[in-house]
Amino acid sequence: MDVDKILEQAKKDLVMGTNTSTDDAAPSMDFLFAKVSPSILDPVGEYPCFLVDYCLKHYLEESKKTGGVTKDVIFHSMVIKRIMTIIQDFSYSLKPETQHLIIEYVFQSWDFSADVVCHEAVDIFSMLLSNHSLQCADCKMKKGCVWTDSLVMQILQGESECRSKYKCFLILLRTHSTYTKLMDELLLGKLYSLIGSPTLSAVICDILSFDLVETPHRWHTHVNLTLSCLSSESREVQNAVRDRLLPKLVRIKLLKEEFLPLLIDEMKGKSLQFQCLYSLLCVTRFLIISHTKCDSYEFWNDYVPYDAMRYAVLHRDVQVRLAAWMLLCEHPQRTHAFSINDLQLIQVFVKTNMLEQTPAIRQKIIAGFRQVLCRVAETSEQILKGKSGNAEQVEDYNDFIRYVE
């Protein structure tokens, strides 16, 4: 069979493949999903590279004609991603016009209703950037070029506010260090305003944590915006910052040791405000629990003023009281002795919360009290063995136990 007949048969098979699922794809599609050799990039007939110049372009064009039929869109997405993977594996450099078609496809599909299409659009975008850097000297040095500059502008100025858009923006930030300069106060303010969105929260936190690591000179801007979010009227924004962003920052050594103490210092000045007080207690707990080395243990009074802790223990909001209670009870060093202030605050909490009726809250109170008793027992044993502390602490513990009996 001559080349023209082979090519003609391939065209027919590919057209059939656009209307099938992956399970019953035309036989000609098998070569995409099996182990391939470099010969797959060889010229065929009028096409210098049949895989790219016909197959890839064919599916990019077909993707515009599906009319939003989910199974077709998913199939096209899968095939295009597979072709891009093969191209990347063999470091085949794409022509500028092909790159342009792929970018159009990514922008067209990144907010599709099926999540798999959105995820694959991001993967395709990432592979395209890698492919572009094969020929672009500036991109190899992570400086960015005219082409990537235009991509950034299209992303930032685009009307879509989908998750994949911000994932693509994060990829550009990570692969081209020069684009961190675009993260001005206006853009940061927009990102913080979107952090409460359930679909965007995770990727926004990734972008913000990346910017914090890369640009310490913007930390004060981040502190102000974080405090602004914690004072927001939107509970979704407050929760996203407190429950997602701040715990993420604790896991990054630089931010845990330098940025979060800076944030806590600002929180202390506003600690009587409900959200700042609650966040201060939560962040302090994250920081204390994250320390695993004996010589670096820290305690709640390293971050929270005594007056603020006393206010929290008696706060009218049960979540604030519980946050203070957990901070008093939990510590990675089980043999760390309670101070007089600790014991007094624990007594106050126990006395004022004994009538709590909510089962979930009662469980947390009881669990915390068990930890208190365990620490009292272990530290008392250490003192009596002469390994730490003094006999007066045992007397304090005896008074405490008699009080709670």
- How would DSSP label each residue in 179-234? GGGG--HHHHHHHHHHTT-TTTHHHHHHHHHHHHHH-GGGHHHHHHHHHHHHT-S-
- 57 in a structural domain: yes
Same domain for 194 and 134, yes or no, is no
C-alpha separations of 363 from 311, 322, 359 in Å: 23, 11, 6
Same domain for 165 and 245, yes or no, is no
* Cα 206-211-212 angle, rounded to 5 deg: 100
Q: According to the model, what pLDDT value does residue 335 have? A: 79
Same domain for 149 and 191, yes or no, is no
Q: Record the pTM.
A: 0.82
Same domain for 18 and 121, yes or no, is yes
Instruction: Residue 290: name the closest of 261, 325, 321 by CA.
Output: 261
Same domain for 71 and 161, yes or no, is yes
User: Which among 269, 300, 315 is the end of a domain?
Assistant: 269
C-alpha separations of 344 from 52, 147, 226, 379, 394 in Å: 73, 64, 33, 17, 15
- Three-state secondary structure call for residue 238: helix
Same domain for 33 and 107, yes or no, is yes
Q: According to the model, what pLDDT value does residue 286 have? A: 85
- 405 in a structural domain: no
Q: Could you tell me which residues are beta bridge partners of residue 47?
A: 44
Furthest CA-CA distance within the chain: 98
- 340 in a structural domain: no
The set of residues, in sequence order, having a beta carbon less than 8 Å from that of 299 and lying 6+ positions away, is 288, 331, 336
Same domain for 86 and 227, yes or no, is no
- 394 in a structural domain: no
User: Which among 269, 299, 334 is the end of a domain?
Assistant: 269
Contact 346, 372 (CB under 8 A): yes
Same domain for 117 and 232, yes or no, is no
DSSP string of 160-184, one letter each residue? ---HHHHHHHHHHHHH-GGGGGG--
Q: What are phi and psi of 214, to 5 degrees?
A: -80, -25
Same domain for 192 and 169, yes or no, is no
The set of residues, in sequence order, having a beta carbon less than 8 Å from that of 263 and lying 6+ positions away, is 223, 226, 227, 283
Same domain for 31 and 165, yes or no, is yes
- 123 in a structural domain: yes
Same domain for 166 and 207, yes or no, is no
Contact 277, 311 (CB under 8 A): yes
pLDDT per residue of the chain (405 residues) written in tens, 0 to 9: 344 454 445 545 544 444 444 444 433 556 677 777 788 788 877 888 888 988 899 889 888 886 668 888 998 899 999 999 999 999 999 999 999 999 999 999 999 989 999 999 999 999 999 999 999 988 888 888 999 999 999 999 888 889 999 999 999 999 988 898 888 899 999 999 999 999 999 999 999 999 999 999 999 999 999 989 988 888 899 899 988 999 999 889 899 889 998 998 888 877 566 677 888 888 888 888 877 665 466 788 888 889 889 999 999 889 899 999 999 998 888 778 888 999 999 999 998 988 888 899 999 999 999 999 998 888 888 877 776 667 777 888 888 888 776
- 98 in a structural domain: yes
Q: According to the model, what pLDDT value does residue 20 have? A: 44
Q: According to the model, what pLDDT value does residue 155 have? A: 93
Contact 116, 77 (CB under 8 A): yes
Residue count of the chain? 405
User: Which among 269, 298, 317 is the end of a domain?
Assistant: 269
Which residue segment(s) compose the domain that 194 sits in? 183-269
- 321 in a structural domain: no
Q: According to the model, what pLDDT value does residue 252 have? A: 92
142: left (phi over 0), alpha (psi -120 to 50) or beta: left
- 367 in a structural domain: no
Number of domains comprising the chain = 2
Contact 182, 156 (CB under 8 A): yes
Same domain for 78 and 57, yes or no, is yes
